[in-house]
Amino acid sequence: MLRLKMVSGFTLIELMITVAVVGIIAAVAYPAFTDQIRKGRRAECRSGLMQSMQQQERYFSQFNKYAAFAAGATNAKTKAFSGDSLEKSACSIAAVQCSSGGTALPLNQCIELQATARSGSDSVSMLSVNSNGDKGCTVDGNTKKAPSDTVPEKCWP
């Protein structure tokens, strides 16, 4: 007597439909995922700036001047990066003299902290805040600083 053998498995059509569905989901999810990563890095930079500004204010209360340092400086009086270590941080932080009308103000009057993104994939390349509380950022090469300019919402929400 002849017995029919049942074959189990997937057909090529079923497999191709599955691949197409996974591809569509990935095409939608990946850009949203990378956008959230960028937002998280930007938030880390803002947090690092605020932490460094608090350290600058403590330094100012002791020495009556602010401490200027280059981005990523290892001998800085304050932390010069946003994360746990310079290698793993989303941005490096520099402290420079504020300028008013193109003239640099003395370090006993004002300091500006600038957080520069370490990866070039974000449209926001630099965030800044000064000791007067004015915030700024550079988006697609255009620098905007308060109070004279309107700072984009994605920089300082």
Name the stretches of the chain with pLDDT < 50: none
Percent of the chain beyond pLDDT 70? 87
Omega before residue 147 within 30° of 0, cis: yes
Beta bridge partners of 69: 95
pLDDT tens by residue, 23-52: 999 999 999 998 898 888 888 888 888 988
User: pTM for this one?
Assistant: 0.76
Q: b/e map of 137-156 (b: 16 or more CB within 10 Å)?
A: bbbeeeebbbeeeebeeebb
Q: How far, in Å, CA of 126 to CA of 71, rounded? A: 12
Residue 76, pLDDT score: 58
Residue extents of the structural domains in the chain: 12-145
